Structure 1
Amino acid sequence: MLALQKVRPAKGVEFREIGVPEALAPRDVLVRVHSAGICGTDLHIAEWTPGYESMERAMPVTLGHEFAGTIERVGEALSETIIGTRVTARPSTTCGRCDACLRGDEDNCTARKGIGIGRNGAFAGFVCVPYDNCHTLPDSLDMDVAALTEPMTVCAEAVATAEVQPGQTILVIGPGFIGQGIAIMARAIGAKVVVIGRDDGPRLDALRAAGFEQLIDTAKTDIASALADLAPFDAIIEAAGVPALVSATLPYLKKRGIFTVVGIHPRPAEIDLTSVVRMHQQIRGSYRAPAADWDGVIAFLDANQPLMRQLISHTLPLSDALTGFQAAQDRVASKVVLRMGEP
């Protein structure tokens, strides 16, 4: 089968022909992939930006961790009755053997591997995943929309970390898919949402089409002018990965407000800590969501399919994945979804 892989610790990814997994661990399932989304992580891996050096031990490794598909085959410890089940899967896999796992503290597993990072992922016709990581999809949920589950759990976790409440005004920095999803989740709670980007016309347009009005392109106006009349914000959620924007926007956070960082940053950010102390502000990091939250996000996607489908800007066959990577890199794409079954 065709697979898009990271082959060496350098810039670039390659298409390769690989075999369909034959031997399965006792509690693993083989999933026939229908749809898989291109993530910012995939772009970082393709560019080989710092922070992914641990992948070298797994290379060559198939990328892709946002996906939806159907269980095709099961390991010996599982019942064949689950064959045909439509699923998505949490991409962070645990070992079950380290001290943390044996204590039931799987979140601190010392041998954690990411699907599409430390083990083969879903940019291929089939992917092997632990069944314990799988979440069943309702028959009513379109597979392309279902492939948005993992990034939307990241969005839900960011909104929860920021403690967004109805009636609050929040600022979302970065209109990429994570920023878009955060805005949608925050609005669903009842918050008023402002989103800023820079030279992000297509992605801001996608939010405008989704009903958002307070959208700011800082290429056309400076941050101070744009935010002065809208501040202070109850919460700021940073999803751009631009260190300078942390210090640039902190002054617009209200006293005792929460600044939540979701973006992956290439270098440290400089922060006026004295101001943070005197304003009683909190700075928090947000990453993956707990397993218990996934089914709620799946239900949200199922109930809001027309809205979520609007954010899928490109739908391409796997063979055109590099076109999708470029569209995402150029920031003309909100979300690129690859379909594995198409030529």
Structure 2
Amino acid sequence: MEAIIKNRPGHGAEFIKDLSEPIVGKRDVLIEVAAASVCGTDRELYEWTPSAQAFNLELPVVIGHEVSGTVLEVGSDVTTIAPGDRVALESHVPCLDCYQCRIGNAHNCLNMRILGMHVNGGFAQRTAVPESIVVKLPESVSLEVGSLMESAGVALTALARSGFAGVGGVVVVSGCGPVGLVAIQLSMLFGASHVIAIEPNPYRRAIAESLGAQVLDPSDDVVDYVRTVSGRRGGADVAFEVSAAPSALPTLLEAVRREGDVVTIGHPGSKIPIDIAAYINKKGITLRGVFGRRLWSTWEDLSHLLASGRLDLSWLITHRLNLRDFDHAIELLTGEANKVVLFPNGVLSDNQ
């Protein structure tokens, strides 16, 4: 079986043709992988950055955590999934027994394992995963789009974490990769009066502008622009930090209004100092973080939005590649590309 393996610490990953077939346990589901989207985190794993090392991978491991496919086989104790089901995969594998899982916070499980890091992931022709992370796709949602739901769910969770503070208000999105772009799309859909996007890459700025955002380069006077647009509010109602750039968070803390919200999504590679007295105490800003999606409400809400036709994600895909082209996929992420999707069993036809 063909797969992309991270065998050892250090730069790179290996394409192999002879990986053993997955073993299907009693509570596992065997998936024929249809599409697996390449994430910025996959690039971090490939380059073996400090951010990647902080995940404490269990090597060797098949990487890839944004996955869709068709069920081939289920274990004897599986009750909710059947062969033939079209599915997407949640990337966080909760234990379902710890304190956080028991109180409804399985997305922040105390014993969390992550697909493609601690459990073999989706850059392979087939993968076996726990039933608990398998999500049935609505009939109208293609398998291609199914592979985008994991990352899109991060954006939806970020908006929810802010209490949808941008409804009728001013939203700032720092970083216009796929998650940032979906955050812009959702903010527009949910009724923001202004969405201001900050992005150094001209290609991605153009996409953000096409979605209806007002676009800035980080070198622009972001704070002055946001305060001008927001008028008597004195700043943005909510800002989403998706870039992971160390310089981004201080700018956002200045740009949001008093009693506003800042939600961080990107994982910076180094520690960032915060002036607690100035921003948290005196300005009353609420600072929240996002790691993945809320299980399972994010998936339910995102599925309904996609099935309704009000949300489309297919436009995110700019490149469709075979599994053996993984090195090229990593290169594309730094250039004029948005979502790069790998197809371990061949590129899908239009109706899939």
- TM-score normalized by the length of structure 2: 0.89
Helix, strand or coil for the counterpart of 2:42? helix
Other structure's SS at 1:229 match: helix
Q: State which of 214, 237, 241 in structure 1 corresponds to 2:240.
A: 237
1:287 maps onto 2:291 in alignment: yes
Question: Aligned pair in 2 of structure 1 residues 304, 318: CA closer, same or farther (>3 Å)?
Answer: farther
- Asked whether the 8 Å contact 1:27–1:75 carries over to 2, the reply is yes
- Secondary structure at the aligned position of 1:4 is classed as strand
In the alignment, what sits opposite 1:247?
250
- Judged with a 3 Å threshold, the aligned counterparts in structure 2 of structure 1 residues 81 and 90 are, in CA distance, closer, same or farther, namely closer
The answer for the alignment partner of 2:60 in structure 1 is 60
**Structure 2 partner of 1:23:** 23
2: CA distance between counterparts of 1:254 and 1:213?
A: 19
What does 1:50-199 align with in structure 2 at a 5 Å threshold? 50-53=50-53, 58-78=58-78, 82-96=82-96, 106-107=106-107, 109-165=109-165, 166-191=167-192, 192-198=194-200
Matched, 1:321 2:329: no
- For 2:139, what is the secondary structure of its paired residue? coil
CA 289–105 in structure 1, closer or farther in 2 if over 3 Å, else same:
closer
Matched residue of 2:29: which SS?
strand
Aligned length: 339
Displacement, 1:208?
A: 2.8
Ranges in structure 2 where 5+ consecutive residues have no aligned partner: 348-352
Cα distance between partner residues in 1 of 2:196 and 2:54: 37
**Preserved CA contact (<8 Å) 1:20 1:126:** no
Provide Cα deviations, 1:274-316, integer angstroms capped at 9, x if missing partner.
2212111111111222212202212223344884211111111
Amino acid paired to 1:195: A
Mapped contact 2:23–2:128 kept (Cα < 8 A): no
Moved more, 105-114 or 28-37: 105-114
Letter in 2 for 1:320: D
Alignment of 1:298 onto 2:293:
no
Mark the runs of 5 or more structure 1 residues left unpaired by the alignment: none
Q: What CA distance in whole angstroms lies between the structure 1 residues aligned with 2:80 and 2:163? A: 42
In structure 2, what is the Cα distance between the partners aligned to 1:248 and 1:40? 23
Aligned partner of 1:332 among 327, 330, 336: 336
Q: Which moved more, 1:8-17 or 1:254-263?
A: 8-17
Q: Would you say the 8 A contact 1:8–1:56 is kept in 2? A: no
Displacement after TM superposition at 1:121 (Å): 0.3
Letter in 2 for 1:43: R
Mean Cα displacement is larger for which, 168-177 or 271-280? 271-280
Letter in 1 for 2:243: A
Structure 1 residues 295 and 186, CA gap change in structure 2 (3 angstroms): same
Conserved 8 A contact 1:315-1:336: yes
Shift of 1:237: 0.8
Corresponding position of 2:270: 267
| Offset of residue 223 of structure 1 | 2.9
> Which residue type is aligned with residue 260 of structure 1?
V
Give the 3-state SS of the residue equivalent to 2:250 in structure 1: helix
- Going from structure 1 to structure 2, the CA distance change for 1:56 and 1:264 (only over 3 Å counts) comes to closer
- Contact residue 206 and residue 334 of structure 1 kept, 8 A: no
Residues 33 and 68 of structure 1 are in contact (CA less than 8 Å); yes or no, is this contact kept in structure 2? yes
The aligned counterpart of 2:316 is 311
TM-score by length of 1: 0.91
CA contact (8 A) 1:50 1:266 kept: yes
How far apart are residue 80 of structure 1 and its match? 10
243-252 or 65-74: bigger deviation: 243-252
Alpha-carbon spacing, 1:56–1:5, altered in 2? closer, same or farther (3 Å)? farther
CA distance in 1 between partners of 2:338 and 2:305 (Å) = 19
Change (3 A) 1:82 1:12: same
- The sequence identity of aligned pairs, in percent, is 27
Q: Distance in 1 between matches of 2:116 and 2:175?
A: 24
Aligned to 2:204: 203
